Amino acid sequence: MHVEKGSKKVHYESGPDMTPLVDVVMVLLIFLMMAGKFGGATKYLVSDMPITGMASTPAPPDPTKPPTQDIILNVTSPTARAGTFRAFYGSRVNAESEEALSSQLKALLKEKLDAGTKLDEIQLYIKPTRNVIYTNIVQVYSAAGKAGFSKIGFQTADG
Amino acid sequence: MKLKAPESHANHVNVVPMVDVIMCLIIFYMLAAKIGVDTGEDEKIVIPFASWSKEIKSMDNTLLINVSEDKNTKMGVVTAKVDLQSPREPLILEGGGSGRRLADVLRRLRYGKDLKPGGSGANADINELKLVIRGDQDMSFNVLQKVLLAAAEARVQTLNFQTTTVQPQG
């Protein structure tokens, strides 16, 4: 810094030149914004009991584990349109929307839990007909998850 | 006493706050963005909305398969990036065609080269093998059940159905 005696204008060196740094940082920022992938909106329905009802003979029950209570939820659909399905289980569950199904399944689960059955022993199998579209199956799955079922699987239409 | 800012400060734009903000953004993007991670997702597939779903913390030992339905033939179309180094490949779900059978691929991943339980090295089993199904929202259960049967045939115990939290419009 050079200050002349009696000079009115004082020139301060305000540190290093930031321009190259800003240039590089901006390039990095734009690259990361363009190249990066964000999976924020993606989530999963998790099932650890994929399927039953295969053509082959099912495995015999494990005697070391308590017997399970299976609920087989039938799902039909008159048209291949999202939101048009009917899910039923005997006379206890009969619903045509996700909200109604969720509340009916919740009541059914509460009844089973009140009767002394443990949550782990209750398995819910979704059994759609062949023409039911995936969106509607996901809605049924979501309803079962919201109702509190922890073990949700599928049963094939072929039995 | 009247204070006056040095003229040099008054004449130049102060870039320090901007650099601070940009640095924060860069650090955020470096941590949050997945760069160079290709799980083999087919972006053309429209996944369904789910009002109840979970996050998966670890994608280790996971195979993602894209499943859709051919509108003309009503046959299932399955693709997956089975090997990390190779691109996404078509897999056979039913009938003939070129390529590997989905059930065989799953069995190979599950039980190793010998396709039998037990073994070590190349024949080692992966008991924690997870399957992620990225299914088209309009495909029928007829297609999905074939994928489920292939998973059951290979004794894959954990299935994950990829969904979105973004509600469809209309």
**ipTM of this model?**
0.79
Supply angle C-alpha A106, A107, A113, rounded to 5.
Answer: 85
Is there a contact between A142 and B51 if contact means CB atoms under 8 Å apart?
Answer: yes
Checking DSSP bridges between strand A93-95 and strand A86-89, what pairing results, if any? antiparallel
Residue B13 phi/psi, 5° resolution? -75, 135
Contact status, residue B90 vs residue B75, Cβ threshold 8 Å: no
pLDDT band at B7 (very low <50, low <70, confident <90, very high): low
Residues of A within 8 A of B7 (CB-CB) are 9-10
Is there a contact between A138 and B26 if contact means CB atoms under 8 Å apart?
Answer: no
B141-157 per-position pLDDT tens digit: 999 989 998 888 888 88
Q: Residue B116 burial (CB < 10 Å; 0-12/13-18/19+)?
A: exposed
Task: Tell whether A50 is within 8 A of chain B (Cβ).
Answer: yes
Structure tokens that stand for A5 in this block: 């005696």
Is there a contact between B148 and A38 if contact means CB atoms under 8 Å apart?
Answer: no
Tell me the β-bridge partners of A44.
Answer: B54, B162
Residues of A within 8 A of B152 (CB-CB) are 50-51, 54
Residues of B within 8 A of A143 (CB-CB) are 52
Contact status, residue B66 vs residue B76, Cβ threshold 8 Å: no
The confidence score (pLDDT) of residue A39 equals 64
Contact status, residue A54 vs residue B165, Cβ threshold 8 Å: no
Residue in B closest to A139 by C-alpha: B50
The confidence score (pLDDT) of residue A57 equals 46
Structure tokens that stand for B28 in this block: 């955020």
**Predicted confidence pLDDT, tens digits, chain A (159 residues):** 554 555 555 656 667 788 888 889 899 889 888 887 776 678 888 887 756 655 444 555 555 655 567 899 999 988 878 888 999 998 889 999 999 999 999 999 999 999 888 888 898 999 999 999 999 999 999 999 999 998 999 988 664
CA distance B161 to chain A (A): 5
DSSP-based three-state secondary structure for B166: coil
State chain B's mean pLDDT as an integer: 84
For helices B16-32 and A19-35, angle between their N-to-C axes, nearest 10 degrees: 30
Residue B90 pLDDT greater than 50, yes or no: yes
Residue B132 pLDDT greater than 70, yes or no: yes
CB-nearest partner of B34 from A36, A41, A157: A36
The confidence score (pLDDT) of residue A56 equals 46
